[in-house]
Amino acid sequence: MRVVVTGAAGMIGSNLVHGLNRLGAKEVIAVDDLTDGPKYRNLLGSTLADYFDKDEFYRRFAAGELGHIDAILHEGACSDTMEHDGKYMLETNYRCSKTLLDACLAQGTRLLYASSAATYGGSETFREEPAFEAPLNVYGYSKLLFDQVVRRYLPTLRSQGGTQDGQVVGFRYFNVYGPREQHKARMASVAFHHFHQFRQHGHVKLFGEYNGYAPGMQSRDFVYVDDVVAVNLWFLQHPDQSGIFNLGSGRAQPFNDVAHATVNACRALDGLPALTLAEQVAHGLVSYIDFPDALRGKYQCHTEADLTRLRATGCDHVFSSVASGVSGYVAWLAGQPSN
């Protein structure tokens, strides 16, 4: 199988590359923009058949110059939820994806792509239906706009009972965390930041009370990147399944749980016993700061993936809890070189 991964040096993309290699895939083609050169480290240890700069790849693939490609795992995007340049966001996340979709349909290439839970915005229901989609920022809108295009194509696909060959799958990622996200800087996961805060300062910080939620009790559906890879690869092995699906753990857990798990995992590395959250707070290991004004009205205080549609496909993957996922992630982070 000849598979392309766009955004291949990013967090999810690089983990997909490694996952494909573990699955035995040898013809893996990486696509990215390595202007940020150190991102190459995420691909160390992987086996690649080729590498393309993103601009060259999209142009040549659309022109049919790259030969037959079985599937594209499209992770390339601008994922900065604080980016306010709508023109850039729509060109990067919508227009690029739409052009890629057109080329995939024309060439019979399967497309599995990254959508986002940001499409739901302030909704209290996280089900893959238009009634619950109300993005709070242009990032979420750029993802929703492409999902809407895909919805129009889905009835024509043979996997949906239509007449056109191909598989198209969109994954609405919830809060993904795990190895190979260091290049994301401020957009890296809270687990990543908590690990480094604790190692450098001996404590971690969380947002205080906001929107009726007690300190640290804003909750998200945190999903470990290994689980994201597993579900992507399950769909790659089940080409008869198409659609737009939530990809989260199906559990909402408060940020307090992440802080608690990170601190205890770091303490375990130092041979220290686990503490309750209350004990961590009492010892100053977990503290709270005022909720930032810049995020008011633009912040999802609760997300929880409805996995009904995902499970209906037959995908029965068991997702990690925050406690187990963060423990594994902290062990991985502790083993990385300091520079």
Could you tell me the residue ranges of all domains in the chain?
3-173+225-249+306-319
Higher pLDDT, 247 or 299: 247
Ligand-binding annotation for 79, yes or no, is yes
Ligand-binding annotation for 210, yes or no, is yes
Ligand-binding annotation for 209, yes or no, is yes
How many CB atoms within 10 Å of residue 98?
Answer: 14
Residue 280 phi, psi (nearest 5)? -60, -45
Confidence band, pLDDT 50/70/90 cuts, at residue 55: very high
Ligand-binding annotation for 256, yes or no, is no
Position 186 scores a pLDDT of 85
Residue (of 117, 297, 140, 288) closest to 211 by Cα position: 297
Position 83 scores a pLDDT of 80
pLDDT(161) > 80: no
pLDDT(227) > 80: yes
Average pLDDT in the 319-336 region?
97
pLDDT, averaged across the chain? 94
Residue 6 phi, psi (nearest 5)? -90, 155
**CA–CA distance, 171 with 120 (Å, rounded to integer):** 13
Average pLDDT in the 265-283 region?
98
Ligand-binding annotation for 54, yes or no, is yes
Structure tokens at 102: 């057109």
Consecutive H or E run containing 260: helix 255-269
Amino acid identity, residue 327? S
Position 166 scores a pLDDT of 87
Average pLDDT in the 162-170 region?
79
The CA-atom distances, in angstroms, between 151 and each of 49, 63, 76, 144, 219 are 32, 25, 20, 10, 29
> Which residues have a catalytic role annotated?
139, 184
Unique residue bearing structure tokens 């594209």? 72
Ligand-binding annotation for 250, yes or no, is no
Which residue(s) pair with 176 in the sheet?
A: 223
Angle in degrees, CA 117, 245, 112, rounded to 5: 100
Residues sharing a CB contact under 8 Å with residue 319, sequence separation 6 or more, in sequence order: 223, 224, 227, 248, 249, 250, 251
Query: Superfamily assignment of 3-173+225-249+306-319 in CATH?
Result: NAD(P)-binding Rossmann-like Domain (3.40.50.720)
Residue 253 phi, psi (nearest 5)? -130, 140
Position 322 scores a pLDDT of 97
Residues sharing a CB contact under 8 Å with residue 116, sequence separation 6 or more, in sequence order: 79, 139, 140, 143, 172, 173
Average pLDDT in the 241-255 region?
98
- 292 DSSP 8-state letter: P
pLDDT digits (tens, 9 = 90+) for 175-224: 999 999 999 888 899 999 999 999 999 999 999 999 999 999 999 999 99
Average pLDDT in the 78-102 region?
90
Confidence band, pLDDT 50/70/90 cuts, at residue 100: very high
Ligand-binding annotation for 75, yes or no, is yes
Position 80 scores a pLDDT of 80
